[in-house]
Amino acid sequence: MSKAYKDEASVPLRAAEGRSSSDSRRNSSDSDSTTSLVLENLNTSGRSRSATRQRRQRLGDGGDEFTTYDLDDDVEPAFEKRDKPMEGRVRRLIWILGGVFVGGWLLALGVYIIRDWRSIGSPGDPEQTKTTKAGKKLTLDLVLNGAFSPQHKSIQWIASPDENKDGLMLVAHGEEYLAIKDVKDPEYKDVLMKDRQFINPVDGSSKYPHKYWPSPDLKKVLLATDYESNFRHSFFATYWIYDVESKAAIPLHPKKPDASVELAVWAPSSQAIAFVLDNNLYLRKLPGDEVVQITKDGGTEYFYGVPDWVYEEEVFSGNSATWWSLDSKFIAFLRTNETQVPEYPVEYFVSRPSGEKPEEGLEHYPEERRIKYPKAGAPNPVVDILFFDVEKGEQFSVAIDNDFSDPERLITEVIWAGSGKVLIRETNRESDILKMVLIDVGKRTGKIVREVDINAIDGGWLEVSQSTTFIPANPEYGRANDGYIDTVVHEGYDHLGYFTPLDAKEPILLTKGNWEVVDAPSAVSLENQKVYFFATKKSSIERQLYSVRLDGSELVPVTNTTTDGFYDASFSSKSRYCLLSYNGPGIPWQKVIETDPKSTYEQVLETNDGLKSLVGQYELPTRHFSTINVDGFELNVVERRPPHFNPKLKYPVLFQVYGGPGSQQVSKSFKVDFQSYIAGALDYIVVTVDGRGTGLIGRKARVIVRGDLGKWESHDQIAAAKIWAKKPYTDETRFAIWGWSYGGFMTLKTLEQDGGKTFQYGMAVAPVTDWSFYDSIYTERYMHTPQHNRQGYESSAIHDVTSLSHNVRWLMMHGVADDNVHFQNSLTLLDKLDLAGVENYDVHVFPDSDHSIYFHNANRIVFDKLTTWLIKAFNREYLKHDDKPIPLEKEVSDKLEKRGWRERAEVITL
């Protein structure tokens, strides 16, 4: 699982990509056929919602306890009946009028209280813990179409050729196709391309770019046309060099204008482009037509300058393994030798992704793509760093004493550190020993300057980092030597350390405390000697922006920490400006600010007023954040309650889980997702628990899972479910759990460990079922190699199918062409179930779909299936009690029959 899946989501809802909220709303209905299946007032314990109105006061943590009373009692006459007769009709009339007046007053007060109680909290804030206003039901169409996705502006900051200037940004698809503007000066504009269309100089045809990269001097633009996706991040394209002044384009490779290129990268000087063609690295010099081929043996076994599948997925999260030196005199690039890496076949039964037409007579045979995929314990690709001296035209490598052996080495980050020096971050195969290598490319020498054995410190691992930041020397500001900022472990938490000089063994600690920095640093202002970073200092489920000076002093918040916030930011090239994005818990907004604390400048870019209006029209679930203590660990929980939650009723409960190492699902970001739909439209409670192994609550809770994934994580899900089963408003006979990818694994592992005692149902999408089947770089980081931990792999696999048989029923879905979590995982589990004679499950597979499950409407089917399957499970004809089927109350049974559930309920057999 790549970092994208780990951090962003266990559920890849991508239907909304490329579509605005207004478009989504325009093309979706306010009702959904699925919601018509929901039985109103099905929860029959206590009074129905229509019969009782209640005012509730939140107590304790997470709103778990309420004081309740009937508002109907408030409007009873406020006087006692007296047996003693009143004297005279006038006195009786006075009392009657008085009673009417008081009763009317109390009635009005009750109505006011109801109205006031229903409007507490911003309608755009899902964290509100009171009942929402009456409105329309949330629909699955609206969620999947992205109607509730906030509008986000992005700024592509551009470094100005003028070293004294900052705040330039690339603006695309405006009045001109590509233009450079100044974020603070509305009069400034430099047009790079007026129109998207340009002319192919070879044949005169019109071309339209898919991607674009201005040169650092802003005089040219590198354009990519004929885009063809490869893996998650990589692609093939035809590249052109567009001249801003002449408005003409030339091919990147003059002799091969139609070549399908894998990567192209500008030199900082704008006088050259490094590019990869057929897995070989080339250099295009400018001006002129000269192309230099740097490597010549690239092909199916050797990659130069681009990552292979596993490095793209698990290390770089991108398509580049090429790095220009700051002075453009050298190129560092990765050589990947896949000779020993086994291949895994991915079959396509309906489509032909290659685009190749089969030979006559072979049309009905599936297309097969063979991918070099190192599973846990299998040979890894051998990687090393090579260099090219642009002036001398020489390729070379630098030998390092005491380096990792070829089979053991992982290269996870490359940072040019000043004139002719480069830092290489390496780890061993199991990612628990770090070696920071410093190479002087001018002298062609190198050495290990820092080594960390994290396994000896806390038994944990080193996550892949791409945020190490070079800090150049500047005596004027007190920086006598070059240095770099890196994430370090300090007293059990991730913090920032400043290493200076470059070969320093110990850092200057910039942060410390019982909280963690997140993907830090985000930016560095060399002018102001400040480091900007996001951290959990205020709360582990928030993201606040802070700054600290390079000497570790003056750590202050940039965002307003007096209110809850989940922020993100992008900084201009010199960090004088920042696009600050507030992502929740309320309606997201964005604005550009000047980082100088003395400045009051800000420019609002997005307020999402349309989203706020839409949210106000719909009944959304309320979110209740809390923590639970399991075995001494404080774990974050969010509970989503139906819009008109009634604590006297008994609600079914769905647990949504991801749980991958270092991930986080419980956060105060704005979300109207599938979980919101389940709680908001189906009137179920949805709970998410970040158990042990997840991120940002300290390494002690995180690294305990190492060597036996699924053991403690599923234990925590079960412990949380037991807590919720005891709550007065939950129905302990209707508990389910679901997840995607690592969450699919967690769903099955939890069902296996629970054995039907707490959870009756589960839904697993694209699950790992045996970590021996997953890729080496991800798996061995958390599990060691199978050769070193055979017992751990056996126990972490889904193996106790007898325990799975004790659940009422469960569902498994998988894409057949999944190149990430292979279909082999689900097939192997099915074989175990067959051998044991276990049949209490349903299966749905998706031809030609990868891990995101999108091919041929598959993504919609996934969520339709999840919804209808869950409704059938929770609204079944019988409840299980002491292993005996007990019929539902007649009132509920009649409602089921009216809705056609007599015919639908045979899926659940007890």
What DSSP string runs through 271-339? SEEEEEETTEEEEEESSSS-EEE--S--SSSEEESS--HHHIIIIISSS--EEE-TTSSEEEEEEEE-T
Strand partners, 582: 567, 589
Flag whether 420 is in a domain.
yes
Q: Which of 235-249, 552-566, 602-616, 891-905 has the lowest mean pLDDT?
A: 891-905
Virtual CA dihedral for 854, 856, 861, 863, nearest 10 degrees?
Answer: 20
- Between CA 473 and CA 558 the distance in angstroms is 26
Confidence tier at 102 by pLDDT (50, 70, 90): low
Confidence (pLDDT) at 58:
26
- pLDDT value at 131 more than 50: no
More confident of the two residues 770 and 231: 770
Tallying the residues shown for the chain, one arrives at: 910
Other C-beta atoms within 10 Å of 259: how many? 18
Convert the pLDDT of each residue in 620-632 to its tens digit: 999 999 999 999 9
Q: Are 447 and 401 in contact (CB under 8 A)?
A: yes
Query: Looking at the predicted structure, is the pLDDT value of residue 76 above 70?
Result: no
Q: How far apart are CA 498 and CA 490, in angstroms?
A: 13
Q: What does the angle CA 411 – CA 412 – CA 414 come to, to the nearest 5 degrees?
A: 90
pLDDT of residue 54: 30
- Give the pLDDT confidence of 816-826 residue by residue, as tens digits: 999 999 999 99
Token pair of 689, please?
Answer: 């628990």
Q: pLDDT tens, 698-730?
A: 999 999 999 999 999 999 999 999 999 999 999
Range of the domain at 431: 410-461
Neighbours of 549 (CB within 10 A): 15
Catalytic residue among 64, 818, 819, 850: 818
Tell me the β-bridge partners of 242.
Answer: 221, 249
Per-residue pLDDT, 774:
98
Residue of 709, 770, 744, 751 whose CA lies nearest to 853: 744
Q: Which residue has the higher pLDDT, 877 or 98?
A: 98
- Residue with token string 């709103």: 63
Q: How far, in Å, CA of 651 to CA of 636, rounded? A: 22
The verdict on residue 430 lying in a domain is yes
Band of the pLDDT at 450, cuts 50, 70, 90? very high
Closest to 394 in 3D by CA, of 331, 304, 322, 321:
331
Phi, psi of 437 (to 5 degrees): -105, 135
Cβ neighbours for 357, distance < 8 A, ≥ 6 positions apart = none
pLDDT value, residue 598? 87
Over the stretch 655-708, which tens digit does the pLDDT of each residue have? 999 999 999 999 999 999 999 999 999 999 999 999 999 999 999 999 999 999
Which among 517, 530, 501 has a CA at the least distance from the CA of 436?
501
Whether 882 maps to a domain, the answer reads no
Q: Residue 234: which pLDDT band, with cuts at 50, 70 and 90?
A: very high
Q: State yes or no: is 30 an active-site residue.
A: no
- List the 168-172 sheet strands across, edge first: 156-158, 168-172, 178-182, 189-193
> Is pLDDT at 522 greater than 60 in this prediction?
yes
Name 736's Cβ contacts closer than 8 Å, sequence gap at least 6: 652, 653, 654, 655, 759, 760, 761, 762, 763, 870, 873, 874
Cβ proximity of 437 and 426 under 8 Å? yes
Q: Is residue 239 part of a domain?
A: no
Summarised one tens digit per residue, pLDDT across range 853-866 is: 999 999 999 999 99
Q: How many domains are there within the chain?
A: 1
* Residue reference for tokens 């299998």: 378
Among 82-91, 318-327, 542-551, name the one with the lowest average pLDDT.
82-91
Catalytic site includes residue 818 = yes
Write a three-state SS string for 179-208: EEEECCCCCCEEEEECCCCEECCCCCCEEC
**Distance in angstroms (rounded) separating the CA atoms of residues 563 and 581:** 15
Average the pLDDT over 886-899 and give the result: 46
The answer to whether the bond into 307 is cis (omega within 30° of 0) is no
Instruction: Identify whether 689 is part of a domain.
Output: no
- Token look-up 């061995």 returns 780
Tell me what pLDDT residue 763 has: 98
| Structure confidence at residue 101 as a pLDDT band (50, 70, 90) | low
* pLDDT average, residue stretch 419-430: 96
Tell whether 393 is covered by a domain. no
SS3 524: strand
In a domain, 439, yes or no: yes
One-letter amino acid at 711 equals: K
* pLDDT for position 173: 86
* pLDDT, position 3: 46
Weakest mean pLDDT among 371-385, 821-835, 871-885: 871-885
Q: Are strands 263-266 and 302-304 parallel, antiparallel or unpaired?
A: unpaired
- C-alpha–C-alpha distance, residues 347 and 366, integer Å: 6
Q: Is the dihedral of CA 100, 101, 106, 107 positive or negative?
A: positive
Backbone angles phi, psi at 195, to 5 degrees: -120, 150
pLDDT band per the 50, 70, 90 thresholds, residue 904: very low
Report residue 104's pLDDT band, with 50, 70 and 90 as the boundaries. Answer: low
Per-residue pLDDT tens over the stretch 821-849: 999 999 999 999 999 999 999 999 999 99
Please choose, from the candidates 55, 75, 53, the residue with its C-alpha nearest in 3D space to the C-alpha of residue 67. 55
- What is the dihedral sign for C-alpha 50, 54, 58, 61? negative
Closest CA to 10 of 713, 892, 909, 887: 713
Which position among 215, 667, 741, 776 bears the catalytic label? 741
Amino acid occupying residue 709: L
Q: Give the C-alpha separation, 547 to 550, whole Å.
A: 10
| Residue 899: per-residue pLDDT | 41
Whether the CB-CB separation of 282 and 233 falls below 8 Å is answered with no
What is the Cα Rg of the chain in Å? 31
Residue 5 lies in a domain: no
List alpha helices for 787-857, DSSP H.
790-796, 801-804, 824-836
- 731-766 burial by CB neighbour count: b if 16+ within 10 A, else e? bbbbbbbbbbbbbbbbbbbbbbbbbbebbbbbbbbb
Q: What is the pLDDT of residue 251?
A: 97
* Range scoring the smallest mean pLDDT among 8-17, 124-133, 184-193, 827-836: 8-17
Per-residue pLDDT at 502 exceeds 70 = yes
Task: Give the Å distances, CA to CA, from 736 to 226, 430, 510, 709, 712.
Answer: 46, 35, 44, 21, 19
882 part of the active site? no
Best CA proximity match to 308, nearest among 276, 356, 330, 267: 276
Q: What is the mean pLDDT of residues 766-782?
A: 98
Q: Does 177 score more than 70 pLDDT?
A: yes
The pLDDT, as a whole number, for residue 476 is 85
DSSP string across 102-113: HHHHHHHHHHHH
- Position 55 pLDDT exceeds 60: no
What pLDDT, in 10s, does the model give residues 249-280? 999 999 999 999 999 999 999 999 999 999 99
What backbone torsions phi and psi does residue 357 show, to the nearest 5 degrees? -80, 130
What's the chain's average pLDDT? 85
Identify whether the C-beta of residue 774 lies closer than 8 Å to the C-beta of residue 313: no
Residue in 10, 123, 66, 35 with CA at minimum distance from that of residue 684: 35
Please compute the mean of the pLDDT values over residues 176-185 and round it to a whole number: 93
State pTM to two decimals.
Answer: 0.83
| pLDDT surpassing 70 at residue 566 | yes
- Judge contact between 578 and 595, C-beta under 8 A: yes
Which residue among 24, 784, 851, 852 is the active-site one?
851
- Window from 34-38, 340-344, 372-376 with minimum mean pLDDT: 34-38
Say what the alpha-carbon torsion angle 792, 798, 799, 804 is, to the nearest 10 degrees.
140
